[in-house]
Structure 1
Amino acid sequence: MSFFKFLFLALLMSLAGCTHPIVAENPEMYSNSGSIAPYSQETFEEYVSETTVWLNQNRVFHGAGEGKELDAVAPYQIIPSNPNGHGILLVHGLGDSPYSFIDIAPVLADHGYLVRVMLLPGHGSRPADLENPDVEDWYESVAHQVSLLEGEVDNLWLGGFSTGTNLVTKYAAESSGITGLVLFSPAFTSKDPLVKYSSFASRFVDWVSLEKEENYTRYDSLSMSGAALYYKTTVSVNQALQDNTLPIPALLLVTEQDELIDTLDIYQTFATLFHHPRSELMWFGDTTIDDSRVVKYPMTIPDLYIQNGSHISVLFSPENDLYGRRGIMRQCGGSNEGEIYVIDCPRLPTLSYTAWGLFEKDAIMARLSWNPYFEPTMTRVLEFMQKTDADL
């Protein structure tokens, strides 16, 4: 369903004074805790400890086990057994959590990087808590974690997924001292042109989408305030790139059929504003781009029943317990007369995989939530980082 349809239906519901049955079933999940986790601690260890306490007090748990859920959404660090003196701060996307990097972070640490994964204000607790932060909380929390990490490493990298890429790219464009960027599914431009109205709409409507919360690693529902915050990051990052020459190399990982992001615009931004000669774009798709800095990974893979990638597919290993080939958080659905419907994923290994919404008529398909090139992807990420570090 389009943003406009969600807005229209939600507005009608609010005017009618109706309570959505999902909210009535579990009202605490969709209510506002009224606070955000503190993020200005003097050490990362204090940040993790105080954030975990806040989550214990404010999170509405899903029933998967409190310890398991806290491990998924709390910030964390991985200290390498053989440190190379370098570090990377990773920032998740809208509605997500540090779990986004559960497969990526250990690989980086195994190769010597001190890895820290932060939790953005408004996340990890309950979907309505995205009403609590303003965009400055996001910028300031990222800047503070950068300041904590930069004093402990020789070279400091920033990485992000989706909205997180907007935050770290803006920081790097406006600040010095960053070695390079690794950007998973950069979200500089939304595919939905109506997202620009989300700030106005948030005055009248609470939700873009209201869903039963089943995924304990992220929000299934999206508040209108959260959509407005995301849009503000797109405006800011594009302005930052226009106003400043990005002086450092960046590696962008982009899925051609990303259902949320305008990938053609992402490539144009890369081609025109990412000037560093060592910057690269890993293109997960079948269209050939005539650019020596673009490396193509075909995403029509019949042997694996893959037709296309998705927004999240760059992140996860095929063996991931939640998002991998047999993952319990797979999303499945079909298409009927242009409308997408959702079903519980059958436990079948022969489902076809594609981006959400690119479902064939009269076929049950799954959103590709894992990276068939996960190992070569991480090899290229590490080679990119190590060559850059060696040049400094």
Structure 2
Amino acid sequence: MKVFTVLFFLSAWSKLAFSFSISDMTSLSCLDIAKNWQMIEQAQQQGTFRFAKNQGPVAWRIDHNAPFSEYLAHAKAIINSRNIRAQQNCPILTPVAQRLGYDIEHLKVADLIAPFELRQNNSDRAILLIHGLTDSPFTFHFLADQLYQQGYNVRAILLPGHSTAPSDLQHVDVSQWQALVNYAIERTSQDFQQFAVLGYSTGAALAVTEVSKHPPENIKALALISPASEPHNKHGWLAKWISKVPFINWIDEDADFDFAKYESFPWQAAALANDAMAMLAKQAFPANLPLFSSFSEVDTTIDSRASLAMLTRFAQDNQQPSTHSLLYYGNANAAKAQLPQGYNILSPQCNHLACDTIIDMSHIGILQPPEHPYYGWQGTYRSCSGYLALLPKYLKCKTHPSPLLGERTKQNTSHEVPLQRLTFNPAYTDFVAHLSTFFDNHFSDHVQP
């Protein structure tokens, strides 16, 4: 009887959902969309937000002599021309949005997912931020402000194919990412007396590769958050061949209700990630460059054992393991057994109310504070893609009053109570403290006038 009731209920909502048009959906705010689970089935089936306004490749112009402000304007123009939701109201006044001069009544999606820069009244030191696959600069809106408060100039770039629609990842080549990251590193090296690079996930792989090829003299440190070393599936190289098969375009076809991060995932995106990780595997780490890393032992996106092996290789290349630090969300003794002697291994200290409710850390949670209005403990958005093939459980995850919180492992998703993939870090304050200390220790206090 319960099964029949659930099916009848979902069927009724399904009929209601199909009465919504794209204009109906985009007339809502980004927060209304995230909460409006009645529309989910329609958005999944029709790909409402899966496709860019203008189909086909887009020209990402990269002029290595152009000022960073020109790059920012070019990227924002592409977002506005291709993202269906670009001008949708999005009243999330993050610290970065506030610093950039936006007010909550006029904030648009495009304002929050565009690349940005926070400038001090000097050119002493800077941090360059590089987001991951399917992500956007919105992921840095809290961390960037905290780095800014500590006196750093902060820049966040947008990788081609992002902040528009998942379909745009089908028209991107990894060389375009390389070209942009190379420009951003060169430009930042020229504009500031000293700088560091922080990469998240695929952005971490790109950062290491480009920095290692031509290490700028004034780069002081590198930070890798949930770095893309190797996937659990060791047959990622097949993705580029599958992506060429007609009509086999998507690994996941989700509703894409998250305005800042793609939920649908094309085969070409998997091919791009594999290319980025393959380049990283061939790269020697720059000598004498301090390294900070942080990731989860139970990461279901990236193989944490491969990441530990990568850090071991980097430490051997660097020959100074004492300048390398790992903030490890897992068994510190297991990490210590694999890493070279002298490696600085840190264990996160969690003091938030949410700590006791969380099973484990996810790939996507480290960068976000619990108080994040969108991804936080009481945030608007819930990540439920672990149940993508099971609509009733997917919807249950979206609406359950007390879902489980953790990584989307097979064990975690096997419970009757649905799992919401952890999108925030309960030990965020500790993470920021360790990262800030690392940067402060490796930047010079005295810069040229």
Q: Which of these two proteins has the greater Rg computed from alpha carbons? A: 2
Q: Which residue of 2 aligns with 1:285?
A: 330
Give 1:246 shift: 4.2
Amino acid at match of 2:112: A
Structure 2 counterparts to residues 6-155 of structure 1, below 5 A: 22=43, 25-26=46-47, 29-30=50-51, 32-40=55-63, 42-61=66-85, 64-65=88-89, 67-80=107-120, 83=122, 85-155=124-194
Distance in structure 1 (CA, Å) of the matches to 2:171 and 2:291: 32
1:389 and 2:430 correspond: no
Q: Which residue of 1 aligns with 2:36?
A: none
> What is the SS of the residue equivalent to 2:405?
strand
- Kindly provide the CA deviation profile for residues 229-264 of structure 1, in whole angstroms up to 9, marking residues without a partner as x: 1100000011013xx554301100111111111001
1:322 and 2:384 correspond: no
- Kindly provide the CA deviation profile for residues 72-91 of structure 1, in whole angstroms up to 9, marking residues without a partner as x: 2111011136x571111111
Q: 1:208 aligns with which of 251, 268, 272?
A: 251
Distance in structure 2 (CA, Å) of the matches to 1:93 and 1:53: 21
Distance in structure 1 (CA, Å) of the matches to 2:115 and 2:398: 30
2:131–2:158 CA contact under 8 A, matched in 1 = yes
> What is the SS of the residue equivalent to 2:323?
coil
Amino acid at match of 1:61: R
Distance in structure 2 (CA, Å) of the matches to 1:99 and 1:278: 30
Distance in structure 2 (CA, Å) of the matches to 1:389 and 1:324: 31
Q: Call closer, same or farther: CA 1:104–1:239 in 2, change over 3 Å.
A: same
Amino acid at match of 1:377: F
Distance in structure 2 (CA, Å) of the matches to 1:199 and 1:97: 23
Q: Call closer, same or farther: CA 1:362–1:89 in 2, change over 3 Å.
A: same
Q: Which residue of 2 aligns with 1:256?
A: 297
Distance in structure 2 (CA, Å) of the matches to 1:64 and 1:158: 32
Give 1:174 shift: 1.5
Amino acid at match of 1:265: A
Q: Call closer, same or farther: CA 1:151–1:302 in 2, change over 3 Å.
A: closer
Distance in structure 2 (CA, Å) of the matches to 1:26 and 1:384: 43
Give 1:28 shift: 7.2
Give 1:194 shift: 2.9
Matched residue count: 368
Give 1:173 shift: 1.5
The answer for unaligned runs of 5 or more in structure 1 is: 1-19
Q: Which residue of 2 aligns with 1:3?
A: none
- Kindly provide the CA deviation profile for residues 102-144 of structure 1, in whole angstroms up to 9, marking residues without a partner as x: 1110011111111000000111111111122211110010111
Structure 2 counterparts to residues 199-278 of structure 1, below 5 A: 199-204=240-245, 205-241=248-284, 245-274=286-315, 275=318, 276=320, 277-278=322-323
1:62–1:216 CA contact under 8 A, matched in 2 = no
Q: Call closer, same or farther: CA 1:298–1:351 in 2, change over 3 Å.
A: farther
Distance in structure 2 (CA, Å) of the matches to 1:302 and 1:245: 39
Give 1:365 shift: 2.4
- Kindly provide the CA deviation profile for residues 363-383 of structure 1, in whole angstroms up to 9, marking residues without a partner as x: 222211111111121111111
Give 1:33 shift: 4.0
Q: Call closer, same or farther: CA 1:179–1:129 in 2, change over 3 Å.
A: same
1:333–1:341 CA contact under 8 A, matched in 2 = no
Q: For the aligned residues, what is the CA RMSD?
A: 2.8
Q: 1:164 aligns with which of 182, 203, 222?
A: 203
Distance in structure 1 (CA, Å) of the matches to 2:254 and 2:49: 14
Distance in structure 2 (CA, Å) of the matches to 1:356 and 1:108: 30
Distance in structure 2 (CA, Å) of the matches to 1:107 and 1:234: 29
TM-score of the superposed pair, with normalisation by structure 2: 0.75
Give 1:223 shift: 1.2
> What is the SS of the residue equivalent to 1:359?
helix
Distance in structure 2 (CA, Å) of the matches to 1:329 and 1:49: 28
Q: Which residue of 2 aligns with 1:7?
A: none
Distance in structure 2 (CA, Å) of the matches to 1:127 and 1:164: 17
1:29–1:60 CA contact under 8 A, matched in 2 = no
Amino acid at match of 1:115: V
> What is the SS of the residue equivalent to 1:158?
strand
Q: Which residue of 1 aligns with 2:34?
A: none
Q: 1:189 aligns with which of 205, 230, 254?
A: 230
- Kindly provide the CA deviation profile for residues 277-314 of structure 1, in whole angstroms up to 9, marking residues without a partner as x: 31111101245233542112278998530110000111
